Chain A
Amino acid sequence: MISFSEIASSVHQWLNSHLSPAWVLTVEMVIVGVAAIALFALLGLVLVIMERKVAAYMQIRLGPNRVGPKGMLQSTADTVKLLVKEGITPAGADKFMFNLAPFIAMITAMLLLAPLGFAKDFQIWDLNIGVLYVTAVSSLSVIAILMAGWSSNNKYSLLGAMRSGAQIVSYELSAGLAIMTIVVLTGSLQLSEIVESQRNGWWIFKGHLPALIAFVIFIIAVTAETNRAPFDLAEAESELTAGFHTEYSGMKFALFFLAEYINVFTVCAIGATLFLGGWMPFHIGNWEGFNHVMDYIPSSIWFFGKTFFLIFVIMWFRWTFPRLRIDQLLDLEWKYLLPISMFNIILVTVIAIYHLHG
């Protein structure tokens, strides 16, 4: 079975045998960059078609079904359309900021991909504060939204940006605390170590109730942080038309759109890594036979499977629930999620101190 880590190491060896170390590093950086952008584009296409299909089936519709087999090339066609569309900059807009904002959103989303462990021994950057890095960089995405909202010279955009700012800043807290529970259990911020600590069971199973609570809080908080319904107040179609990206069109809009989906992917990947064992296969206690079968499934499939399951859950939320109001949104965070997650982290600390986890 060919795994990602084998491909990576063979490429590395081949380059080392042909080039000087400095060139090897450069070539590898280029490869990683191209691979990241390719993954980006691919994820964007896949997630958009997935969202549309999920929405369609929940709404007793067929969804896109004309372009390609079962409409699977619809998002490609949409991308081409967006690429050739004119990107209009409104007359009163702050042109520099207006054009910069989508790129900030995109760059932030790209930076977040760095520490993810896509498969066994396959990670772009295994930095020792992986989780903290993700929390930190994801807080940058609010800047892009604020910039877009302010520079559009549109009142709807400004309102959307303000909402989004308040929302992301406050939901970062409970998302961070939910992540902290796993950090407490693992004793490390490094994503590879967190995955490794789940070799004998995923945290959601062996972390008892607190891990489950943390998982639920994490899913709710990241749904809010990525501006997805029912927390899509920054866009709030029926209230603010399209919120912060009302004035964007063409490729600049597509970048925002893509960044949103990549953010969803990243937070779901983080959730899968922290709570569902990352690329670790599913094992049940002493069932040797069953565990062996699970081991045969490649680690990348495990990782993407878990991530896409979480993405599906987030889409499921979107197509089921009505949108919250801004004050209720903040109520939910400050009156429910934050106290619960603070209480939860105390519970987790107790568990960690007495080594109640497996």
Chain B
Amino acid sequence: MYSTTEHIGVNELGDMIINVGPQHPATHGVLHLVITLNGETVKKVEPHLGYIHRSIEKMCESLSYRQFIYSTSRMDYLSSHINNHGCALAVEKGLQVEIPARAEVIRVLMGELTRVASHILWWGALAMDIGAFTPFFHAFREREMINEIMEETCGARLTMNYMVPGGVMFDLHPNFHKRVKALLQQFKDKLDEYDELVTYNTIFINRTKGVGFISAEDAISYGMSGPSARASGVSCDIRKIYPYGMYDKVQFDEVLLQEGDTYARYLVRMQEIRQSLSIIEQLIDNIPEGDFQAKTKAVLKLPKGEYYSRVETARGEFGVYIVSEGGMTPYRIKFRSPGFSNLSALDHMTRGSKIGDLVATMGSLDLVIPDIDR
């Protein structure tokens, strides 16, 4: 694949080849990047995947329509609610069931909470990639509040498996309203602190501005989605373009920036936290009464056909494609995960930049490796 002419790992052109990962602090998981370096300058980045491939898609083919949803929490574990939501939507499309209004609101609320939690974790992790350790811990303080809400209502902190075909698994916990209110209150102050610590810091701005640039055309051609693409000015928010759940009934803006660099990706996510909080604020006092789950049969059978649904996870567009033969289990399931396409653009974004930029850019893409490898 590549040859090393001597023990120091230099190829025929005199470039140094370095394996970043699968065990490396910058890759947040078991991603393996083979990078070709000329001194400090990155000449090529080659992601090698498969270290955490669990063939979830194949596994899902042997699971029933109720069962397979749980495994999607384990792909993009930071937006598990939204993944589950996408799967539930696809199954519901096949079943032709009407979702109670309460369930819809709960789903959106949970989705936005997940998005906020994911974005704060990313904020801390990016700061850590760039070398500031303190923000990571500050981020976990707020994330912990969200996790407690999840734990109370859904019964788990990370892989909740809360969305089921027809609604949600449990009703909201009585404390939910109170806790979300407290969360909103705390976030108002803490977001400013985040800005003080990171956003306006000169070193941070210097490290991220103009780094890892990708144009809108390239972002589209690489199939990028989510905040990473919106930072390049690509309007791709599924919540706006193909509204699902309650998203057509709440007020929020699609955050679009034109710069296309790491700082823009940073700002888009910080803005999205505020947008998500505003969505939660609009919905939290207006949760309709009623059922939290539609009546469905014990054994779900989707009519023969193909079903596709897409949702906007914290990382971008997540698509679920189900082919049904009419049986109890899907004939084929394909997930379109945002991380895979975003990662593929990494080489394009980082060629000619320094190693530090590579790490910053990779951090700004918000990669979750199980989401890429599945």
The answer to A–B direct touch (Cβ < 8 A) is yes
Query: Which one of B47-55, B181-189, B350-358 is at the interface?
Result: B350-358
B328-372: CB near A (< 8 Å → 1, else 0) gives: 000000000000000000000000001111110000000000000
B297 at the interface (CB under 8 A from A): no
User: What chain B residues lie within 8 Å of A58 (beta carbons)?
Assistant: 134
Measured CA separation A259–B127 after assembly (Å): 28
A-B contact count (CB 8 A): 90
A78 at the interface (CB under 8 A from B): no
B9 at the interface (CB under 8 A from A): yes
Residue in A59, A61, A155, A238 whose beta carbon sits within 8 Å of that of B131 in the complex: A238
Measured CA separation A153–B26 after assembly (Å): 21
Residue pair A59, B354 in contact (C-beta under 8 Å):
no
Of listed A60, A321, A326, A327, residue having the most chain B CB within 10 A? A321
A105 at the interface (CB under 8 A from B): no
A144-188: CB near B (< 8 Å → 1, else 0) gives: 000000000101101100010000000000000000000000000
Residue in B137, B201, B355 whose beta carbon sits within 8 Å of that of A61 in the complex: B137
User: What chain A residues lie within 8 Å of B203 (beta carbons)?
Assistant: 230, 321-324, 328
B204 at the interface (CB under 8 A from A): yes
User: What chain B residues lie within 8 Å of A320 (beta carbons)?
Assistant: 132, 134, 197
Residue pair B16, A322 in contact (C-beta under 8 Å):
no
Q: How many residues of A contact B (CB 8 A)?
A: 32
Interface of A is mostly: loop
Using known A-B contacts A92-B7, A155-B18, A328-B206, determine if residue A323 contacts B356 with beta carbons closer than 8 Å: yes
Residue pair A239, B8 in contact (C-beta under 8 Å):
no
B1-32: CB near A (< 8 Å → 1, else 0) gives: 00000011100000010100000111000000
Residue pair A239, B7 in contact (C-beta under 8 Å):
no
User: What chain B residues lie within 8 Å of A92 (beta carbons)?
Assistant: 7
Nearest-CB residue, chain B, relative to A319? B134
27 A-B residue pairs with Cβ-Cβ distance under 8 Å, sorted by A, are A55-B134, A59-B138, A60-B138, A60-B141, A155-B16, A155-B18, A156-B18, A158-B8, A229-B131, A236-B131, A238-B129, A238-B130, A238-B131, A239-B26, A239-B358, A239-B359, A319-B133, A319-B134, A320-B197, A322-B201, A322-B204, A323-B130, A323-B131, A323-B203, A323-B356, A325-B354, A328-B207
Residue numbers of B with Cβ under 8 A of A are: 7-9, 16, 18, 24-26, 37, 40, 127-134, 136-138, 141, 197-198, 201, 203-204, 206-207, 354-359
Residue numbers of A with Cβ under 8 A of B are: 55, 58-61, 92, 153, 155-156, 158-159, 163, 229-230, 232-233, 236-241, 319-328
